[in-house]
Structure 1
């Protein structure tokens, strides 16, 4: 029965460090199993025209779910099937063109062994990850990946600890090897993570968030400085673009420019905007990533940038737009 009184001088930190040491040593020995079998497993998965089906019971099942999720998010479509449920109908989710990765530390999982004859009949390739190549699963596998570790971090040798870490790492090794072989890119990754911060950074383009049409602050070059300031106030983007009737950019005037001209003795009532505007203006194309526009703004120490095709004004994007879109 568990003891609910803490032993005198018990050191939680030391136990934690011991666990890390044991698991590091286990992983160091895993290196020897990245061999020709690993290559064969990667090749079978790479050329698979269907999906990767991962199976495992208990703690192996938990690792299997994470493994399937990692495959799926890195360009190798995958899903997890519980072996117990598979025996009661879920095996119908597995098709002949799929490939199965079955996980069991002992290699003697009854639930998985019961499925192997059906998988063989369907001619579904079987990759087994176990600690014993001579186990029933090891012998039945088309490819066996050894995940043997000297001992568990659990002092009783019962709770799966080092072995599940080794299994997880072997799964990561497979996923990353396949990712590189497929030439999987950061943008590909973002396509399967559209709701996350990474997805927003890698998928959102300036055209998705820029201000267009009547939202663009703009005046003609013969407008008065007063009218330009009113336009800046109305549109609330901290600037106005100076352009002709065809929306061709001639210059820009910003809040920062306003502060600078206070020391120039400008007659605010009679000055025209062309007398104080900055010619040109920093601009980006609408199809660039929003995060690239953000990086430009930060490097130039500005809070907004024009969106244009050459000199043709298409829109304006502000730092606040980036914040609202979750790019920052």
Structure 2
């Protein structure tokens, strides 16, 4: 077997092994898991998540996920806890301690200190009979048969299961809180995700660049308006009401089909059913309309009145797509 094939085979074995470990952890979920989640949900404080080694890295990710989904959390490194970081724990906090063995020296030192003020201690461990397991109020079983590491030493399956269980805790809490996309947006205002959930049409609309003509406007002036505003379109208004739209495509088709077009007016070539969107709508909604109708511009309204034009390029510049 050549090197490439060997690598692919090994990678496949690892992914298969880890996925099987996650699948088997489903059967290890008990009422104790549910009770632990309920305690986290009911607490008036935070969830303090601690661990040592690779479990500490998993703990930081779980804390980040929980913070972004409505459960105030903080990471506390097990080694640093005994050197002052225990001061971050308040009586109202619940503690989640992650340790595969549950018997590491740092955990044995830390656990009695975590319990001394009466805080609820939740253990996530593969060994329910470990020091951590026996001293915890609730145990989340993260048992695995073996690591996918060839030597059965490097944390692989164990940390994958820990991470998956952390996600299971987070999603369970989201369900209990009735956590919606709108709530998620509050914690993710930056980047493409935040913009998709929060950015409104009015936030990117150039209200000073509003191409518009009347129904009796000569074609020559229509062309000048479309070219001058550089949006490839103009709205057609009558008595300040939107009655149509003319795009640069309409102009091209007119030039192909009409040998004498100078006598034509805007009303002669406009589309009388323009696609519109309120300026208070989300930009993601505007994008959906553009994609659904395979168009590049939308007429924007403000309580039914003409407010301007939003172009697909405006949305692309925001990085939402």
Same-fold status (TM-score > 0.5): yes
Q: In the alignment, is residue 165 of structure 1 matched against residue 197 of structure 2?
A: no
Q: In the alignment, is residue 318 of structure 1 matched against residue 305 of structure 2?
A: no
Q: In the alignment, is residue 260 of structure 1 matched against residue 242 of structure 2?
A: no
Q: Report the counterpart of residue 210 of structure 2 in structure 1.
A: 216
Q: Report the counterpart of residue 132 of structure 2 in structure 1.
A: 137
Instruction: Determine if contact 2:45/2:94 at 8 Å carries over to the other structure.
Output: yes
> Cα distance 1:8–1:203, how it changes in 2: closer, same or farther (>3 A)?
closer
Q: Report the counterpart of residue 4 of structure 1 in structure 2.
A: none
Tell me whether 70-79 or 7-16 shows the greater mean CA deviation: 7-16
Instruction: Determine if contact 1:105/1:130 at 8 Å carries over to the other structure.
Output: yes
Cα shift at 1:266: 6.2
User: Which consecutive residues of structure 1, in runs of 5 or more, have no partner in the other structure?
Assistant: 1-6
Instruction: Determine if contact 1:249/1:280 at 8 Å carries over to the other structure.
Output: no
> Cα distance 1:308–1:83, how it changes in 2: closer, same or farther (>3 A)?
same
Return the match for 2:262 from 261, 269, 292.
Answer: 269
Q: Report the counterpart of residue 149 of structure 2 in structure 1.
A: 154
Instruction: Determine if contact 2:43/2:94 at 8 Å carries over to the other structure.
Output: yes
Q: Give the structure-1-normalised TM-score.
A: 0.89
- Distance in 2 between the 1:44 and 1:134 partners? 22
> Cα distance 1:10–1:197, how it changes in 2: closer, same or farther (>3 A)?
closer
Cα shift at 1:285: 1.1
Cα shift at 1:244: 4.3
Tell me whether 112-121 or 317-326 shows the greater mean CA deviation: 112-121
Tell me whether 223-232 or 10-19 shows the greater mean CA deviation: 10-19
Q: Report the counterpart of residue 3 of structure 1 in structure 2.
A: none
Return the match for 1:251 from 241, 244, 251.
Answer: 244
Instruction: Determine if contact 1:131/1:148 at 8 Å carries over to the other structure.
Output: yes
Q: Report the counterpart of residue 17 of structure 1 in structure 2.
A: 12
Cα shift at 1:273: 1.9
Q: In the alignment, is residue 230 of structure 1 matched against residue 241 of structure 2?
A: no
Tell me whether 117-126 or 251-260 shows the greater mean CA deviation: 117-126
Instruction: Determine if contact 1:107/1:136 at 8 Å carries over to the other structure.
Output: yes
Q: Give the 5 Å matches for 1:77-156.
A: 77-156=72-151
Return the match for 1:202 from 189, 197, 216.
Answer: 197
